[in-house]
Every structure is written in structure tokens, then in C-alpha cells.
Amino acid sequence: MNILNRAIAVTSYLFAFTWGTFIFLSFIGWGGAINRFLFPRNQVDWGQRAAWGMAFSVCVGGVLNLTWTISRTTILIYLGAGFLNCLVDFYQNRRSLRNFFNRVRNCFQDKLFILGVFIVFLLILVECTGWVRTHIFERSDDYQGYLVFPQKMLQIGSIGADPFNERRMVALGGQSFLQTLVLSMLETQNLNLIDPGIALVISLGILIGYLRKKHISKYLSIFLLIVFLILPYPKPNISSTVTPVALFLSFFVLLDCDDLKSNIFFSKALIIAIIAAAICSLKASLIPTCSLLFFSSYFFYILGSGRQCKTAIYEFIISFILVFVFLLPWMISMYQSSGTLLYPLLGKGYHGSVYGTYLSPSSELTFSSSIQIIIRLIFWIYFFVFIVLGLLCFLFLPQFVNKRGLIPSLIISVGLGTIVVTLSAGGSSSSFYRYPFPFLYTAIFILLINACANPEDTNKNKVSASSFLLIAMLMLGLLIGGSDAISHVNWQRYANLLIGNIRVGLSNRPLVSAQEIEQYLKMQQSIPESTTILVRLEKPFLLNFKRNQIFVVDWPGGASPPPGMPFFQGSEVLADYLVSKSIKYVVYSYAKEAGFPRQQAIESLKPNVHVWFRTIAHHTLDFQDNLIKLSKTRKKIYDDGDIFILDLLNY
């Protein structure tokens, strides 16, 4: 790479980092505006303000999505307004900022503390810069769904209809809208800026504020922050992983925030509703835990309100209605696309399991196998640590039951939520870690902080403060060891993944070659404008969604309008079904088998493979084989040796 290209690459990388900072400050600005409006007598810390701003953005995104008004201009105006709010906040709180810097200056006289702060700063810097620009994405999840949705939002104003896409059903669209904030100025390679990048900084900010609130010593605080940052997190694709960590942290801390109780009940109801609605809109796997947390926290709040019971009930009713109102725009859009307001709680809609042949992940579970999975789950290191810390805090910190019930609500919601999500995923190996991670990881650190809190907060008649802290540290040690946080594999994550991402990002390597972009452009121009097309492509996110109505088939059979896409009945039955849905053109990456080659599918059909993966492979093979058969009986209006386009009405 010559000097000019290197300079362009570095400039591009720095601009992306700056844009991510701008989004982060905009979140703080919107959160600050909410803070001033709802709680004018109290100021929450910057981490909470950023989380509130992120949650509010998701709710705003639902309205913009339903009204088809998402655009680069709309997003820039929205982010600009948030940034101006942030500047106003900084100006109004300039005296507090000076006091903060004075406290920091005093703390920095301690060299050991300086070292700890430097380590935390270095870890978060590597995490953030390592996700500024990435070049590796998941070929099935991302290419077929999660890269498509934000592109559609920016191009046509909404995520729109995608009735043949299963991934469209498992998330209302909140995460995709957050990704449009990045995509409005940057490229596809920068989408990880939001999650884990910005979300991790927000999570860290909330933890710092909570550690101060609980009067945790500065050395223990630094240690807990380092552990939080070095524990590995799942990153299989660009869907929600760390974003819900930030929002669940915000929810938990809000439940433990006595300073805001002096305000009218409507304020607390509104902010709880915003956070809960935002979490539910990110991903379907988060809904059970969030719902349980919402209802259980209000149950304990009403139970402990005494004479204020009626006020607590009114707050619960208003908050519940507001959650529904904030979710409704996303739900209506989902219904228009996939036949259900909220999958699977309010119906399965167009999901393939409705039609009989497409098995769900939990279809082979029996009572006996479910019990076995739960037993395995109990002895899984994360869940085991959660149980021990939960019991420790619940038994010896009884005052939490008499407030908003943070500890019992957390134990009930996260405990049951983890079991429900794991069983719904069929108890596969990935379901133990990947799906419960956002709320289980968050709950563990909330419990750890409470376990390490000021000795005055413990029940000394039952356990000494030193014993309490010792048990907490023992659980933390088990967590560090059991999660491989200090193993060679985790350090390789920093060396190979994050540092590797920085290296590749500074080289400005494109995700897709100019030749591929030209190929997709030429291919799509072969189809008449404004017609509906069904695509089974390797990289459908490269398409122009404004030119045609495009239905992306991610997992064939995973979703389809009634009476359901036919399988194992031959190619002609499939063609008749598609024509009945006003689909004339079908596009298929036949040379690359849409990124799901036959050999990979055959491997997935082995008896020892999980039933869901077998189902996917079986249906994908049948669908792709039928497209090849149709290519021999239908007219090809385009064929470049890699992709063909079939006209189903011309033989």
C-alpha cells in the first residue's frame, strides 16, 4: 500500500471512530433530555443517560420504521439534536465537571490506582477500536438477514415486508435501526461500532456509577471493571449481544435507584417502559427475561408499598400500557411482514413450524430431556455462579425485598429466563452461552457489586462482612477460571481478533470487491423495475431494495406466507406456489449455492447433529435442488455463470 492509500485508510478509520463517538454523545444528549424532563431534581450518571438515550432511540426508530421515514437526513437530524442536547448538558453541569476532575486529580496521587485505571482504559480502548471496522461476518445470519435489514431501512425508509425471512421474525427491528445510525455515514464494515463497541462503553459507564453508589473501594472497583472487560462474550453475528447488556444493566440499576423515588410515579413508569420496550424490540430471546423482570419488580414494589399501594398499582398499569404503546409500531410492522405481532408470544405467524415439516429447535424435547438440560445448566459455570451469588444476596440482604425487589426480581427473571431460553433453543451447546448471556452476565455483576457493598449493608447477625466478601471473590474466581477469561484462547481473542481487526481496518480492505458490486448491479438491471423478486443469493445485502420489492430467503422453509412453501413435492409445486404469491422472478447464486454448499448440508444431516440444524439442511437442499430443476424448464433472463434469474411464467 502506497503512502496516499495508507493516509486514506487511516483517515477513514479515524473518521469512523469519530462518528462512533458522535453517536455515543448523541445518546448521552437524548438521555440527558429525558433526565431533565422526567427527573429535574436528580441527575443520573453519564452511563445511565447514554443507556436511556439508546433505549429512546430504539423507540423512536419504531415510529420512523412504521411511517417509512427512515433516511440518512432523518438520522442526521436526530443525532445532531442529541449531540446539541449533550453540549447543553456539559455547559449546564460545567461546575460538576470541574469537581469531577478535581476528584480524579486527587485519586491520581495513588500510583497503584493509576495503573488500574490505565489497564481499564487500555482494555476498553482495544475493545472499541477493535470493532471500528471489521471484515468478517457470518455468512448465513449476517449476509442473509442482519446486514440486509439496516440497508433496507435506509434505502426504502423501513425494514418492510420480508415474509420468507426467518430472521425477520426473531427480532422486531430495534437493533437494525441502531445500526442505521452507523450506516448513515459509514460502511457495512463499521456496523460493529454499535454492538459491541458503543454498548460496551455504556455498560462500563453504568457499572462505574453503580460501584460509586454502592461505596465499593476504588481498588475493588478497578478489579471488578477489569474482570467485566476481560470475560469473553459471544459474537456469532451482528445481532444484539452487548446492547442488551447495557440496557439490562440500566434496568437493574434503575430498580435500585432510591434517589428517583421522590418524583411523581409517571416519570418512573415512563423510563421503565422505554427501557423494557427497547430490550424487547432487540431480539425475541430477550423478551421472556425482560417480561419477568418487569412484572416481578412491580409485584415486589406493590407488595412493599404499604399505604402507597394504590400509587404503585397505578404506576404499574401506566408503565404496562406505555410498554405496549412503544412496542406497537414495531409490532405492526412485524405483522405486516410476517403475520404475527410478536413471535412467538402472540402467535407464530408465517413461521415454518406452523406448516408441519419445519421443526422448531425444541421440537424433540421431552420432559426427561428437559430435566437433563436443566441439570446441566445448573452446573454450567455462569449459571452456578449466578445461583450462589443470588442466594447469598437474597438471604443476607433482605432490605432489597422491601423496595422494588431488585434481588428477588433479578433472581426470578434471570433464573427462569435462562431456563426458558435454553429449552426453547433445544438445549444445544450454543444455547447455554449465546442466548442467556446478555442478562445472565449482567445479573452476575449486579449481584457481585451488591455482595461486595459496604459492610453496613449486610446482616451481621447471619454472616460477617469479610465472609460475605470472601464468598463473592470465590465465585468471581470460579467465573474467571471457568469462562477461560485468563486462558490462552481469550488472550488470542485480543491478539487475533481485536488487534487483527485494527490492522485490517487501517488497511481499508473492502468487504466486497468492486467486481461483485458491479455483478449484482448488472444482474438486478436485468429484471423489470418495481417487480417483486425472490432471492436466494450469497450476498443479498448488495441489492438495490428501492428498485424492486425483494424477498430474501434466508433459511428455506423457515418462514413463508400461508399455506406455506411446499417442500419435498417437486419443483413444479414450488413454482405454482411462488406464482400464486405474485412472484414471477427468482434469483439464485447457483455456482456458490448461496453460501450453503451441498457438502456442508450433508454434514448437517448426520443423526448426532441437533434437530434444528438437520431441519435447516434438509429444507435448504430441497429448495436449492428445486431451483436447479426449474432452471431447466423455465426461461433464464440472466445467467453469468454464478447467478441466474428465472422467469417462472416463461417456459
| Per-position DSSP letters for 355-392, written without gaps between them | GSSS--TTTT--HHHHHHHHHHHHTSHHHHHHHHHHHH
Cβ pair 412, 215 in contact under 8 A: no
Band (461; pLDDT cuts 50, 70, 90):
very low
What is the CB neighbour count within 10 angstroms for residue 623? 21
- pLDDT on residue 503: 81
Prior bond to 556 cis, omega within 30?
Answer: no
Mean of pLDDT values over 123-134: 89
Mean of pLDDT values over 321-345: 95
Distance from C-alpha of 89 to C-alpha of 651, rounded to nearest angstrom: 66
Query: Is the confidence at residue 644, as pLDDT, over 80?
Result: yes
Band (485; pLDDT cuts 50, 70, 90):
low
- Mean pLDDT rounded to a whole number for the chain: 87
Query: Is the confidence at residue 262, as pLDDT, over 60?
Result: no
Domain boundaries, the chain: 3-499, 514-647
- pLDDT on residue 136: 84
CATH of domain 514-647: 3.40.50
532 backbone φψ class: left, alpha, beta (φ>0; ψ -120 to 50)? beta
Which whole-number Å values give the CA distances from 613 to 560, 599, 601, 602, 637, in the listed order? 18, 14, 9, 11, 34
Distance from C-alpha of 597 to C-alpha of 593, rounded to nearest angstrom: 5
Mean of pLDDT values over 539-543: 94
Helix 199-213 with 437-451: angle, nearest 10 deg: 20
Distance from C-alpha of 435 to C-alpha of 426, rounded to nearest angstrom: 12
Query: Is the confidence at residue 156, as pLDDT, over 90?
Result: yes
Distance from C-alpha of 269 to C-alpha of 258, rounded to nearest angstrom: 14
- pLDDT on residue 360: 81
Band (486; pLDDT cuts 50, 70, 90):
low
- pLDDT on residue 624: 93
295 closest CA partner among 320, 278, 270, 277: 320
- pLDDT on residue 427: 74
pTM (predicted TM-score): 0.92
Q: Which residues contact 619 (CB under 8 A, 6 or more apart)?
A: 352, 357, 358, 555, 556, 557, 558, 567
Distance from C-alpha of 483 to C-alpha of 494, rounded to nearest angstrom: 15
Strand partners, 551: 534
Distance from C-alpha of 452 to C-alpha of 393, rounded to nearest angstrom: 10
Q: Cell 451488591 belongs to which residue?
A: 450
How many percent of the chain have pLDDT more than 70? 89
Band (482; pLDDT cuts 50, 70, 90):
low
- pLDDT higher at 62 or 378: 62
How many percent of the chain have pLDDT more than 90? 53
Query: Is the confidence at residue 191, as pLDDT, over 80?
Result: yes
Name the least confident of 96-100, 327-331, 534-538, 566-570. 96-100
- pLDDT higher at 183 or 102: 183
Query: Is the confidence at residue 400, as pLDDT, over 70?
Result: no
Q: Which residues contact 343 (CB under 8 A, 6 or more apart)?
A: 169, 170, 284, 334, 349, 351
Band (460; pLDDT cuts 50, 70, 90):
very low
Name the least confident of 95-104, 171-180, 351-360, 522-531. 95-104
- pLDDT on residue 480: 67
Mean of pLDDT values over 577-595: 93
Mean of pLDDT values over 282-301: 94
Band (552; pLDDT cuts 50, 70, 90):
very high
- pLDDT higher at 492 or 380: 380
Band (458; pLDDT cuts 50, 70, 90):
very low
Strand partners, 635: 647
Distance from C-alpha of 25 to C-alpha of 59, rounded to nearest angstrom: 18
pLDDT tens digits for range 77-101:
999 999 999 998 888 777 766 676 6
Distance from C-alpha of 25 to C-alpha of 553, rounded to nearest angstrom: 37
Distance from C-alpha of 638 to C-alpha of 542, rounded to nearest angstrom: 17
What secondary structure letter does DSSP report for 607? T
- pLDDT on residue 100: 66
Query: Is the confidence at residue 271, as pLDDT, over 90?
Result: yes
- pLDDT on residue 401: 46
Q: Which residues contact 62 (CB under 8 A, 6 or more apart)?
A: 172, 173, 174, 177, 281, 326, 327, 328, 329, 330, 333
- pLDDT higher at 270 or 425: 270
Query: Is the confidence at residue 336, as pLDDT, over 60?
Result: yes
Cβ pair 286, 413 in contact under 8 A: no
Query: Is the confidence at residue 104, as pLDDT, over 70?
Result: no
Mean of pLDDT values over 116-124: 89
pLDDT tens digits for range 211-247:
988 888 888 888 889 889 888 888 888 999 999 999 9
C-alpha cell at 552: 430474501
Determine how β-strand 532-536 pairs with β-strand 585-588: parallel
Distance from C-alpha of 436 to C-alpha of 339, rounded to nearest angstrom: 27
Query: Is the confidence at residue 464, as pLDDT, over 60?
Result: no
Mean of pLDDT values over 603-620: 86
Query: Is the confidence at residue 175, as pLDDT, over 80?
Result: yes
- pLDDT higher at 569 or 400: 569
- pLDDT on residue 265: 65
Mean of pLDDT values over 443-471: 67
- pLDDT on residue 453: 77
SS3 assignment, position 536? strand
Query: Is the confidence at residue 190, as pLDDT, over 90?
Result: yes
Backbone torsions φ then ψ of 193, nearest 5 degrees? -60, -40
